[in-house]
Amino acid sequence: MNVTVKLFSVARDLAGFSEQLVDLGRNSRAGAVLDYLSEHHPEFAGWRSSIRIAVNQEYVSYDHALHEGDEVAVIPPVSGG
């Protein structure tokens, strides 16, 4: 299934892109995005405890089921304010 992956701050710096259409295969869960990123950058694997994921601009659990066309954002620890 194709989703748009959006990366921010240090995740973007690490992976080297800010937005990409990615095919995550069938019946994927939100956490699959980190698996995909870990394939090229193993450092992402160590981040599972601190990175949040948002689908269509709402925070979701790693188990959240994805749908075709979802916008999946990788949200490193925020630091606004």
| DSSP strand pairing (58-60 vs 71-75) | unpaired
Residue placing its CB nearer to another protein in the complex, 25 or 41? 41
Which of these, 35, 39, 76, 37, lies nearest to 54 by C-alpha position?
Answer: 76
- Least distance (Å) from another protein to the CB of residue 15? 10
Residue placing its CB nearer to another protein in the complex, 6 or 64? 6
Phi, psi dihedral angles at 22 (to 5 degrees) = -130, 140
Give me the residues that bind another protein (CB under 8 A), please. 6, 8-10, 13-14, 16, 41, 43, 46, 54, 57-58, 73, 75-81
